[in-house]
């Protein structure tokens, strides 16, 4: 059985642990790929601090992610806390952990190929994003409305960021379901993917 837990990628550790304690999953699946897990979670598990200066990620995805991460830190939050803490919970409790997202390197490659007009649009959005707090921007968000706006304004990017990743996520979840028959599989998944993934799994 697959159960999806909708998140906004800013859910606190306490909230994630509370949900997982209550649900008692046999398997935990997260909206990460192995590359992102190695970057975001492994250092926390090993208490490893990389003091070497990091090269600035100049890809479009890198610029967007870094901007959100910095704003979250300024506001006392952790961007990606839902996925990170679901991973930590799985490791701490010896629960099988599975990754369901498209590899971030592939996503970056695809997004760097979108039309220049869409790239400029994203950078303009980023400038507007900087003017408001994350709490303001995530309060009472209508995920479906946001997806429609994204599709209308950035159709190519929408295909890469949403549709293609949805297909990968659905395919991976079906594989995981076959891998763990009759097990309860809990999935931490961003709000923007929930409707399509849920429809495909229940269809």
pLDDT digits (tens, 9 = 90+) for 187-199: 999 999 999 999 9
- CB atoms inside a 10 Å sphere around CB 55: 7
pLDDT digits (tens, 9 = 90+) for 15-40: 999 999 999 999 999 999 999 999 88
The predicted structure's pLDDT at residue 48: 59
The half-sphere exposure of 46 on its side-chain side, counting CA atoms within 13 A, is: 10
On average, the pLDDT of the chain sits at 90
Higher pLDDT, 187 or 146: 187
Q: Which residues contact 86 (CB under 8 A, 6 or more apart)?
A: 16, 20, 28, 30, 188
The predicted structure's pLDDT at residue 52: 53
Residue 54 has pLDDT above 80, yes or no: no
pTM (predicted TM-score): 0.89
Q: Which residues contact 166 (CB under 8 A, 6 or more apart)?
A: 193, 196, 197, 200
Domain that residue 141 falls in: 2-202
Phi, psi for residue 104 in degrees, rounded to 5: -60, -30
- Judge contact between 37 and 100, C-beta under 8 A: no
Q: Which residues contact 55 (CB under 8 A, 6 or more apart)?
A: none
CA distance 130 to 124: 10
pLDDT band of residue 127 (cuts 50, 70, 90) is confident
Q: Count of domains in the chain?
A: 1
Please choose, from the candidates 124, 8, 134, the residue with its C-alpha nearest in 3D space to the C-alpha of residue 63.
124
């Amino acid at each position: 059985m697959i159960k999806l837990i909708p998140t906004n990628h800013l859910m606190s550790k306490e909230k994630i642990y509370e949900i997982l304690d209550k649900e008692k999953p046999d398997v935990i699946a997260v909206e990460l790929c192995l590359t992102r897990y190695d970057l975001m979670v492994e250092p926390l598990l090993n208490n490893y601090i990389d003091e070497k200066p990091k090269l600035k990620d100049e890809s479009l995805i890198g610029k967007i992610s870094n901007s959100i991460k910095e704003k979250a830190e300024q506001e006392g939050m952790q961007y990606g806390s839902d996925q990170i803490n679901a991973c930590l919970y799985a490791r701490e409790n010896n629960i099988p952990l599975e990754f369901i997202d498209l590899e971030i390197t592939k996503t970056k490659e695809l997004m760097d190929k979108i039309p220049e007009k869409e790239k400029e649009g994203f950078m303009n959005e980023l400038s507007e994003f900087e003017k408001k707090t994350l709490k303001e921007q995530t309060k009472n968000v209508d995920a479906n409305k946001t997806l429609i706006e994204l599709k209308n304004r950035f159709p190519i990017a929408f295909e890469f960021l949403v549709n293609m990743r949805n297909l990968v996520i659905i395919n991976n979840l079906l594989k995981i379901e076959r891998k763990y028959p009759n097990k309860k599989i809990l999935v931490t998944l961003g709000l923007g993917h929930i409707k399509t993934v849920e429809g495909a799994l229940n269809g």
